[in-house]
Amino acid sequence: MRDNGVVEVGPGPLGLGEVVRVARGGARVRLDEDAVAEMAASRGRIEELAEGATPAYGVSTGFGALATRHIDPALRAQLQRSLVRSHAAGSGAEVETEVTRALMVLRLSTLATGHTGIRPKTAKVLESLLNAGITPVVHEYGSLGCSGDLAPLSHVALTIMGEGPVRDAQGNLREAGEALKEAGIEPVELAAKEGLALINGTDGMLGMLIMAIDDLTRLLKTADISAAMSVEALLGTDRVFAADLQALRPHPGQAASAANLRQLLGGSGIMESHRNEGCTRVQDAYSLRCAPQVAGAARDTVAHARLVAERELVSAIDNPVVLADGRVESNGNFHGAPVGYVLDFLAIAVADVASMAERRTDRMLDVARSHGLPAFLADDPGVDSGHMIAQYTQAAIVSELKRLAVPASVDSIPSSAMQEDHVSMGWSAGRKLRRAVDGLTRVLAIELLTAARAIDLRRPHLPGAGTGAAVALLRESVAGPGSDRFLAPEIENAVRLVADGSFVAAVEAATGPLA
């Protein structure tokens, strides 16, 4: 049950939206009573193993290639501390707070399944850190995406022990011990198996996947808006988006994108202005005519990624795990391949959607292909350069996106003395996808900025209600056509309106919900 904005974490799975609320919205979390009971039950089995003579990985042995060493009971608390301290070996820039909060709540969700053998009191420290807004410092490099996101999660586990640097709720860099004391949180001394339970999961890469799905769901609607505006600006046709034509190739994403384009272009005076015998063009360029095929394929890719994310959310990823019958078994469920593959797949889709948007922008600037628009949409071409260099910026980003589309998941580097001889690189796939999503945001913003200027230049003919709403929103912060002015701030205004969902909201207020 969820109430008062609190996300309840229990043995059942979190929803994608709940993860986003905690990661991005700072929502509070609460472990439910069933989760606490499940953790307590499985903890009893771990303590039995810890007291017994039978070797159990991570309970009474070392880790990775050192798993053959039996650890004396007197050294097992040190074993857990040493595991976390040695594995907290990340390097490079801090990752974003939302990424760390996502991996924290996802790890808490796995702990709540009762399959990891952690003590409830240890899980409750993680709960308290989230609610206090204390965020461990996690670094860009360190995870190979197999045995989970070990280094990133180890930095979180270090904080649970009261060690290492953190950011407090105000974003200040603090020592963990000081920040926890101020928040009234008591750090814990990890017991048998607990260090491993805290660090052996795919939570970082999964968190990045979930947030990318959230971003791309919005950005693909935005891509339909910018495509519709470009179709108007270039005096293209909307006949190719007809439902019966799209039904000949029944991909659901394509159908949704084409429906959006029809909705956005409905009632367009610009479209009506050239529906006559005087129009001699038979068909538009691919970047216009095939917009729903490309954006639709990207939608279907997001749908597949969502399916993978939902499966991961019902998973209990640790090694070893405590099963319902009391067995404690080693396994390979920590391997990040399922998540890494779709992170890479999404980066390919992002690059292609951006590439098509850049091609439409370029057409609007080329006097030979823009059907009557001034060169580069300049007020006085030659004296003014218009949007010439805005397209250069787009092109530079698209080139970068193509490099980011090279899959990380095909590159495995063996580790741990060849015990861990195949790894997923899923964390790396997630990191580059985040950069790609930012790039797509900027490419679409420049297309919207350019198309709005071109639509204004088509006056007295007016755009449709949907595309007109996008132009009107932009005009609240960016002036219309005129002589050259400082362009970078205008681009950043458009980027902000794309990133925060304002374009989609304004258009949907005029047209109704987009698919």
Which residues have a catalytic role annotated? Answer: 57
Both tokens of residue 210?
Answer: 């979930």
Phi, psi of 226 (to 5 degrees): -65, -35
Which of 59, 40, 119 has its CA nearest to residue 329? 59
Query: 228 and 454 in contact (C-beta within 8 Å)?
Result: no
Q: What is the DSSP string of 69-138?
A: SBPPGGGHHHHHHHHHHHH---EEEEPPHHHHHHHHHHHHHHHTTT-S---HHHHHHHHHHHHHT-EE--
Give the whole-angstrom CA distance, residue 148 versus residue 342.
16
Instruction: Name the DSSP class of 372.
Output: S
Quick one: CA dihedral 369, 373, 376, 381, positive or negative?
positive
Residue showing tokens 């790396």: 428
DSSP category for residue 52: S
> 509 with 470: CB under 8 angstroms?
no
CA angle 406, 409, 413 (to 5 degrees): 110
Residue type, 426: G
The CA distance from 195 to 157, in Å, is 7
Structure tokens of 229? 């505006």
- The Cα 96–Cα 431 span in angstroms is 10
